[in-house]
Structure 1
Amino acid sequence: MTSHTWFITGVNSGFGRELTRQLLERGDRVAGTVRREGSVDDLKAQYGDTFWVGHLDVTDLPRIREVVDVAFAALGRIDAVVANAGYGLFGAAEELTDEQVQHQIATNLLGSIQTVRAALPHLRAQGGGRLIQISSVAGLSAHAGASLYHASKWGVEGFMEALAQEVAPFGIEVTIVEPGGARTEFTRGSLQVAEPLAAYAGTPAAMVQAFKQTSVPVSGDPTKIAARVIASMDQKPAPLRLVLGSDSYQAVTSALRNRLAQIEPQQDTAAQTDADS
């Protein structure tokens, strides 16, 4: 088991906290960020100097670079940077307020992009490292009532996939994590549902109103998911995508097959728009 140093956003709950707990328990060092100061005091008290904590709301884009720079200065080499902070916003696109739309994109998409951009100079200078994006099955499949959540996750998927090609010459590898539903705080504090419009009652988008109930069944075990993410750090080459959960695998493969089924019959008509030679 190789020991590593990690930078992880959003370690106060969910996958971020579970990743941090397991890493510290096995002897790794972690630089973690939290929005609520004091929310990881228990871990800090238990693990002391191996756990560096920074205060950060990833919607404060200039602050991201400040915190990342200080973390690298404090810990020296950081082997893995995990863009984890995020939440789910659900409801039909028309039901969401402008403020909700902006905050979802600022948190899930721009927050991840700026975290990565802040880390890249440091990773290049040290000769490599790993970038890990906690995405979702929602980054590769789409369902009514989650249009803005999908926009944030599909956006970060495209960013990270292209980025992997950009940074490969510097020894920097990228992994996009695709968990399905998991028994974390996501269905409570990390999930927001729009106020419903009567026009959408009985439509596919209305199904997400059930998320307001805390009893929505999910199958993923966050302890096992975090362990797989940690284990992926030692995979060479890095897996570009890490699909975790049988529900995620089924949804992703079904979405990709459906997409191909829509596109492949268009091969001949697609070619008809080529310029004449």
Structure 2
Amino acid sequence: MATWFITGASAGIGRAVTEQLLRAGHRVAATAGDASRLKDLSGNLWTADLDVTDTEAVRDVVSRAFGELGRIDVVFSNAGRGAVGAAEELSDEAIAEQIAVNLTGPIQLVRAVLPHLRAQGGGRIIQTTTMGAQISSPGASLYHSSKWGIEGFLESLAPEVAPLGIGVTMVEPGSVRTGFGAALSIAEPMAAYAGTPAGQVHRYVAASGGNLTGSAPGDPVKVAAAVIASAAVDPAPRRLVLGSDAYQAVRAALDARLGELDPALAASTDFAA
């Protein structure tokens, strides 16, 4: 039996992972903004309300979970939210919230769990990012900024904590049928962007009725199973690209990025031998 600590456990991938773990007999410390949404679940379940943007609350809940449950094998950082709008359209408040939920919150969660993982001799940190941490699209600049940012943090973290027996994995799903979009932060459209790609994004979101993933190719049950299986892989896989759409988009983005490298130009700025 393993013990998992999960944020964003009440919906989407976090909910699917929680359900599968409980059915398999594992113990889950499940947290959500409103943990009452987990009351229908049964099994070896510990719950707590948690707003990941509240750093003191993160530290308190993490401390209570480790204190009451003892060893926690896997920390699954899954809470997140999307923001839509051209960079100029986004309010200061929307920018601050997006960074707090998707970047600062996960960073502070990692910082809160590390002392406990070190003390117990190791563990696993799994972070849900997105294929949007490798690609980008107009109208979602802050969302991509937050996801690229958390991956940069985790890339640096992984070799820091590997000698301590702590593995780090980034989960990069494509579009998954999770109801993503119902809680989007949507900026007020500006007329100047109506005929631009950012304006097209606004119209697409409005036409979706809040359900951006209703026909998405990704199966949340299969994504959850892949996340759970990754925890048993040693050494920890650095990334899980999940979904055929994610594979194609990420591969194309990486190929394009490599194609932008000019070795002659790069070498031309060195000091002469």
Q: TM-score, normalised by structure 2?
A: 0.95
Q: Of 231, 235, 241, which aligns to 1:233?
A: 231
Give the match for residue 99 of structure 2.
105
Matched, 1:20 2:7: no
Q: Give every structure 1 segment of 4 or more consecutive aligned residues whose post-TM-superposition deviation is greater than 6 Å.
A: none
Inter-CA distance 37–28: structure 2 relative to 1 (3 Å threshold): closer
Q: Of 95, 107, 117, which aligns to 2:111?
A: 117
Matched, 1:269 2:265: yes
**Structure 1: how far apart are the matches of 2:198 and 2:250?**
20
1:163-219 Cα deviation digits (max 9, x unpaired): 111001001111000001111121223x23222111111211123211231454311
Give the match for residue 9 of structure 1.
7
1:99-156 Cα deviation digits (max 9, x unpaired): 0000000000001000111000111111111000000000010111110000000000
Q: Give the superposition deviation at 1:32.
A: 1.2
- Matched to 1:269, the amino acid is L
Matched, 1:137 2:135: no
Question: In terms of mean alpha carbon deviation, does 31-40 or 95-104 score higher?
Answer: 31-40
Give the match for residue 187 of structure 2.
194
Kept after mapping to 2: 8 A contact 1:183/1:222: yes
Give the match for residue 38 of structure 2.
40
Q: Of 141, 157, 163, which aligns to 1:169?
A: 163
- Matched to 1:12, the amino acid is S
Structure number with higher helix proportion: 1
Q: Of 62, 70, 73, which aligns to 2:67?
A: 73
> Secondary structure at 2:113's aligned position in 1?
helix
Cα-Cα RMSD: 1.2
Kept after mapping to 1: 8 A contact 2:29/2:46: yes
Kept after mapping to 2: 8 A contact 1:80/1:130: yes
Kept after mapping to 1: 8 A contact 2:10/2:35: no
Give the match for residue 58 of structure 1.
52
- Matched to 2:98, the amino acid is Q
**Structure 2: how far apart are the matches of 1:207 and 1:250?**
23
Matched, 1:219 2:217: yes
- Matched to 1:201, the amino acid is A
**Structure 1: how far apart are the matches of 2:239 and 2:221?**
19
Kept after mapping to 1: 8 A contact 2:35/2:47: no
Kept after mapping to 1: 8 A contact 2:6/2:75: yes
Q: Give the superposition deviation at 1:275.
A: 2.8
Q: Give the superposition deviation at 1:40.
A: 1.0
Give the match for residue 173 of structure 2.
179
Kept after mapping to 2: 8 A contact 1:193/1:208: no
Q: What is the total number of aligned residue pairs between the two structures?
A: 268
- Matched to 1:29, the amino acid is R
- Matched to 1:255, the amino acid is A
Give the match for residue 27 of structure 2.
29
**Structure 2: how far apart are the matches of 1:78 and 1:69?**
11
Kept after mapping to 1: 8 A contact 2:59/2:109: yes
> Secondary structure at 1:95's aligned position in 2?
coil
> Secondary structure at 1:104's aligned position in 2?
helix
Gaps of 5+ in 2: none
Q: TM-score, normalised by structure 1?
A: 0.94
**Structure 2: how far apart are the matches of 1:198 and 1:91?**
12
**Structure 1: how far apart are the matches of 2:131 and 2:205?**
17
Give the match for residue 198 of structure 2.
205
